[in-house]
Amino acid sequence: MPDPSYVIETGGREAGLAFHLETAFYPPLPGFVKDAFLEAFRGYWSEDYDISELADRLRDDAGYVGDLGSYNFWQFLNEEDLNDE
């Protein structure tokens, strides 16, 4: 699985997440799933909702059944949510 940390450092979390969704999954994720992930994380990053609603939106909008610690998604969580775990 490619490490998105360089992209996160140079392009920001959204660019890092887009890179991660594009390169870390086989078979490739459908476009609507990638879009739903990006939209859900944008709302979370802008503090429109908290981490539990992020998980709900990923499940409902993207069909994601894993947890936020899987598939390296922890790299895209807000610092305060990382410290709570």
In total, the chain counts a number of residues equal to: 85
What secondary structure, in 3-state letters, does 20-49 show?
HHHHCCCCCCCHHHHHHHHHHHHHHHCCCC
pTM reported for the whole predicted model: 0.90
Mean per-residue pLDDT, 57-75: 94
Higher pLDDT, 5 or 36: 36
In the chain, where are the structural domains located? 5-76
Question: What are the tens digits of pLDDT across the range 12-57?
Answer: 999 999 999 999 999 999 999 999 999 999 999 999 999 999 999 9
Contact 25, 62 (CB under 8 A): no
Determine the Cα–Cα distance for residues 72 and 43; give it in Å rounded to an integer: 19
